[in-house]
């Protein structure tokens, strides 16, 4: 693939650390990765739908309980680069298997947590698995399919995220009501075990050809296209997760939806996210900048609708569904942007993208926790709108300009 933005980062001998691209597509392996990310993101999202009962049983505030997402994200932000630097010549298949096993252990420990501190430790294990997987995702796609099929492979893998948003929040809320939040975490652990078994059967050997070094990260950080993507991610994802982490308290307190209707609203969010993933992938195949920027604009529109018309249950429900559709298009769009920007830096740029996502998730959940305890749920949605629209501006102005330069130079 060619570079998206202006100049590439400086060429160095240590950059060429990836194995040659696949000569034929291994779609079964790609779908097994999608199943794996489905399990990871389902576990990551569970505190969103279980926030109120977790806070009540562990005797903490909603803002404190929301830091279960912050803990996952903080560890994930560190785990991605560390895993890439420490992976050496290990077979990437083995690394994926270990990460999925950590998902299983995290779910079991979360279910047994007797305090919020124990819950945060268990969620930290999930963060390591999540950060490591996201750091390797683009490089794995490049290894499993030919270059022309990479956007499709990334869309399929990230479709696991969209499927998780369909299932995790509404099922988490429903199962939490039926079984309790601890049994729901155990169910997520079981899902991770099934995903591991699928990957044991489907993933081919993926030996590394060389060990990525710090110079590859330096090259990625000097690459204009990668920096545009990272800046957009930090702004958009921070705003999104500030709002999403506390969407249940908002829906319960502002439009005053009951538990069953909250579950339906979260289901609408998830279904919208799945549709957004498909739409975002289609648009991003032509223009990742337009796809990512437009998705952020729609998230802002949904947040504004909640701010202005949130007390009206029907408007709140529709805005939640629109939010899901809009954000569903964002991860696949920005991942395709990153893959096209620097395929020769796949693992290092992937680790940086993963860290940016997780830093943004952590900061969003932390800021949201402070805002909901200080200003109430509407204050969280205001922050979400401001942060996301700033991210939209970065990609629609700088990203689109980079794409136009690329088109003119072609």
Sequence spans of domains, the chain = 18-409
Given this model, what pLDDT does residue 410 score?
A: 64
- Count, residues in the chain: 410
Please compute, for residue 334, the number of CA atoms within 13 A of its CA located in the half-sphere on the CB side.
36
Q: Give SS3 for 285.
A: coil
Burial of 286 (0-12, 13-18, 19+ CB in 10 A): exposed
Query: Does 67 have pLDDT greater than 70?
Result: yes
Q: CB atoms < 10 A from the CB of 56, how many?
A: 12
Phi-psi region of 59 (alpha: psi -120 to 50; beta: other; left: phi over 0): left
Within 10 angstroms of residue 14's Cβ, the number of other Cβ atoms is 15
Q: What is the pLDDT of residue 234?
A: 93
Mean pLDDT of the 172-184 span: 82
The average pLDDT across 50-55 equals 80
Whether 390 contacts 402, CB under 8 Å = no
Q: Pick the residue with more confidence: 78 or 342? A: 78
Confidence of residue 5 (pLDDT cuts 50, 70, 90): very low
Contact in structure between 250 and 161 (CB atoms under 8 Å): no
Residue 96 and residue 35 in contact, taking contact as beta carbons nearer than 8 Å: no
- 347-364 pLDDT, tens digit per residue, is 777 778 878 887 887 788
The Cβ of residue 308 has, within 10 Å, a number of other Cβ atoms equal to 11
The CATH code belonging to domain 18-409 is: 1.20.1250.20
pTM over 0.95: no
pLDDT of 294 strictly over 60: yes
């Amino acid at each position: 693939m060619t570079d998206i933005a202006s100049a590439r980062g400086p060429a160095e001998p240590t950059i060429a650390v990836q194995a040659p691209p696949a000569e034929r597509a291994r779609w079964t392996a790609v779908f097994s990765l999608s199943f794996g990310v489905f399990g990871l993101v389902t576990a990551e999202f569970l505190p969103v739908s279980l926030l109120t009962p977790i806070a009540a049983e562990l005797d903490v505030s909603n803002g404190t309980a929301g830091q279960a997402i912050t803990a996952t994200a903080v560890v994930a932000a560190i785990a991605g680069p560390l895993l890439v630097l420490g992976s050496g010549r290990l077979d990437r298949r083995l690394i994926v298997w270990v990460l999925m096993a950590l998902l299983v252990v995290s779910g079991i420990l979360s279910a047994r947590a007797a305090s919020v501190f124990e819950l945060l430790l268990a969620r930290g294990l999930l963060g390591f698995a999540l950060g490591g997987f996201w750091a390797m995702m683009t490089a794995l796609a490049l290894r499993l399919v030919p270059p022309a099929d990479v956007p499709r492979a990334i869309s399929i893998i990230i479709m696991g995220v969209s499927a998780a948003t369909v299932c995790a929040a509404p099922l988490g809320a429903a199962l939490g009501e039926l079984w309790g939040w601890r049994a729901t975490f155990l169910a997520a652990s079981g899902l991770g075990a099934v995903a591991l078994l699928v990957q044991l059967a489907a993933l081919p050997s993926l030996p590394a050809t060389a060990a990525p070094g710090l110079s590859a990260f330096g090259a990625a950080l000097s690459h204009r296209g990668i920096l545009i993507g990272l800046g957009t991610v930090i702004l958009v994802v921070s705003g999104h997760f500030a709002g999403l982490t506390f969407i249940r308290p908002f829906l319960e307190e502002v439009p005053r939806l009951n538990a069953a209707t909250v579950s339906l609203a979260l289901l609408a969010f998830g279904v919208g996210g799945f549709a957004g993933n498909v739409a975002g992938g289609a648009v991003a195949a032509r223009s990742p900048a337009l796809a990512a920027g437009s998705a952020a604009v729609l998230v802002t529109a949904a947040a504004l609708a909640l701010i202005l018309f949130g007390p009206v249950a029907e408007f709140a429900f529709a805005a939640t569904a629109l939010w899901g559709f809009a954000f569903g298009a964002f991860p696949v769009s920005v991942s395709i942007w990153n893959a096209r920007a620097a395929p020769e830096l796949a693992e290092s740029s992937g680790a940086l993208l993963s860290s940016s996502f997780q830093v943004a998730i952590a900061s969003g959940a932390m800021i949201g926790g402070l805002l909901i305890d200080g200003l109430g749920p509407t204050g969280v949605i205001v922050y979400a709108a401001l942060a996301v629209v700033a991210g939209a501006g970065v990609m629609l102005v700088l990203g689109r300009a980079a794409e136009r330069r690329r088109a003119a130079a072609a």
